[in-house]
Amino acid sequence: MPTAGHRANRPRGPTGDQEDDIDAVDEQLLALLQANGRASYAELARQVGLSAPAVHERVGKLETAGVITGYTAVVDPAAVGLGVTALIGVIDSDEVDDVGILEAMSALPHVEDCWRTAGTEGYVLKVRVTDIPALEDTINALNRIRGVARTRTTVVLSTKWEGRHGRAE
């Protein structure tokens, strides 16, 4: 029978140890930091009901454990001239060299994200480019990579939300 302190449904920390469990306060801190990575410890403390030093210690532990891997600025792509976003499925050949393909794809300047997937496409990439000719150049560059059989592209018409920024619960 679960007790008030039961955490069976909570994610475990990186070591899998009970003392490394991510508790409800950690989850709340993570959501707040994802919404605003520049929030002060005092501001976070007010929102979770702890002292600023306690929040500082918890955030430090989450960083040390590799749960928080960094902080970034969220940039409006259109404001920096990257008005076209596309998702490109990469269908790899039977003679695929994962390391070689990954190195070549990561060298392409407009590839922002890469996911290894199950299904027809071995990888799905998110790319941001200035315009359709730049997208075509990126697709052509991908198709020249050894081990890429073909690609399938979906152009994003509009973004309703990305990540979970601003959606802290």
Per-residue model confidence as pLDDT tens digits over 42-87: 999 999 999 999 999 999 999 999 999 999 888 899 999 999 999 9
For the chain, what is the mean pLDDT?
87
CATH of 77-156, one of 3.40.50.970, 3.30.70.920, 3.90.550.10, 3.50.50.60: 3.30.70.920
- For 22-60, b where at least 16 C-beta lie within 10 A, e where not — what string? beeebebbbebbeeeeebebeebbeebebeeeebbebbe
Give the CA distances from residue 137 to residues 20, 41, 45, 129, in Å, rounded to whole numbers and listed in that order.
Answer: 47, 45, 48, 10
Q: What stretch(es) of the chain map to CATH 3.30.70.920?
A: 77-156
Lowest mean pLDDT among 70-84, 116-130, 140-154: 70-84
Task: Please tell me the predicted confidence (pLDDT) of residue 163.
Answer: 76
Whether the per-residue pLDDT at 98 is higher than 90: the answer is: no
**Does CATH number 1.10.10.10 belong to domain 18-64?**
yes
Amino acid at 82: L
The more confident residue out of 20 and 147 is: 147
Q: Which one of 7-11, 15-19, 92-96, 111-115 scores highest in mean pLDDT?
A: 111-115
Confidence of residue 165 (pLDDT cuts 50, 70, 90): low
What are 4-55's pLDDT values in tens digits? Answer: 444 445 455 555 554 568 999 999 999 999 889 999 999 999 999 999 999 9
Residues carrying CATH 1.10.10.10, the chain: 18-64
